[in-house]
Amino acid sequence: MPEEKQTKLELNIDAETARGRYANLTVVSHGREEVVLDFVANLPHHKPQVVSRIVLQIHQAEALAKTLRTTLDRRKAGTLTPPARSDEEPN
């Protein structure tokens, strides 16, 4: 199997986005050309609230599914090392 080339991508992220959003439920829907991911905070005593919506082209959704599967398989096998947090010193 050919080895996949990994490209390093430098990303800019503002402080609000970097904090992230809490979601404990994902609703997936789709149209003819896209997949829609709604991330929902479903908390006790509150109406469920969509905290983020991501719309992906079909090929992007397929690539995401493949990447998620690979990552989860590696985690389960114990071969995935989490990166150091930005507020921690690297080993």
Mind listing the pLDDT tens digit for each residue in 12-24?
999 999 999 999 9
Q: Domain residue spans in the chain?
A: 20-76
Q: What pTM value is reported for the model?
A: 0.73
59 membership: H or E segment, kind and range: helix 58-77
Tokens 């997936």, residue? Answer: 28
Residue 14 vs residues 18, 21, 28, 54: alpha-carbon distances, Å: 6, 14, 26, 18
pLDDT at residue 90 tops 60: no
pLDDT by residue (tens digit) across 45-69? 999 999 999 999 999 999 999 999 9
* CA distances to 13, 15, 58 from 10, in Å: 10, 16, 24
